[in-house]
Amino acid sequence: MIKESIEEAINTQANREFYSSYLYLSMAAYFESINLKGFGNWMRVQVQEENFHAMKMFDYVIARGGRAKLLPIEAPPTEWDSPLKAFEHTYEHEQKVTGLISNLVKLASSEEDYATYNMLQWYVKEQVEEESSASEILEKLKMIGEDKNALLMLDRELAQRVFNPPVVTE
């Protein structure tokens, strides 16, 4: 049986993962509105990843005998000044999520909930990948600067991304 404090914390984090999905869907709409369909595709794939993250937490709470609760999702921003600003926001957001996951790991450890601690290790590893991916695109955008041709080349590259559901071994 899952402890109430852990159940509440995981439900809260699942809500934050759903917010991440909303944020990236909003960014997809922004990119598509400025005809950067590849960037929009990259964000749409990110939406699927964030939904996967949230559902993994949702299912975990249920598997432990708890009650998964859906909380209100805050409205995300809808405009950014540039693709660079959007990816600065993306990278900062992923860093924030990493901190939230770290706080969950600390809570699971302090509550001596080793099943949850173990489950969260998947998220710890996933956040390394999430930050790295966002940082890589951010750095490319910084290198590109005002070069529209390079921006379109990056857009074509990002159009190739597809969602591959992560393999979860537990």
What's the CATH number where 94 sits?
A: 1.20.1260.10
Task: Examine residue 141 and state whether it is found in any structural domain, yes or no.
Answer: yes
Task: Examine residue 120 and state whether it is found in any structural domain, yes or no.
Answer: yes
Is the pTM above the cut of 0.85? yes
**Count of residues in the chain:** 170
How many structural domains are present in the chain? 1
Task: Examine residue 169 and state whether it is found in any structural domain, yes or no.
Answer: no
CA 124, distance to chain mean position in Å, is: 12
Task: Examine residue 167 and state whether it is found in any structural domain, yes or no.
Answer: no
For 130-137, the CB contacts below 8 A with 24+ separation are: 130/49, 130/94, 130/97, 130/98, 131/91, 131/94, 131/95, 131/98, 134/87, 134/90, 134/91, 134/94, 135/91, 137/42, 137/87, 137/90
Task: Examine residue 13 and state whether it is found in any structural domain, yes or no.
Answer: yes
Task: Examine residue 134 and state whether it is found in any structural domain, yes or no.
Answer: yes
Task: Examine residue 83 and state whether it is found in any structural domain, yes or no.
Answer: yes
- Residue pair 120/104 in contact by the 8 Å Cβ criterion: yes
Domain that holds residue 140: 4-158
- Residue pair 111/3 in contact by the 8 Å Cβ criterion: yes
Digitized pLDDT (tens) for each residue of the chain, 170 residues in all: 999 999 999 999 999 999 999 999 999 999 999 999 999 999 999 999 999 999 999 999 999 999 999 999 999 999 999 999 999 999 999 999 999 999 999 999 999 999 999 999 999 999 999 999 999 999 999 999 999 999 999 999 999 999 998 876 65
Q: Hunting for tokens 């749409």 — which residue is that?
A: 44
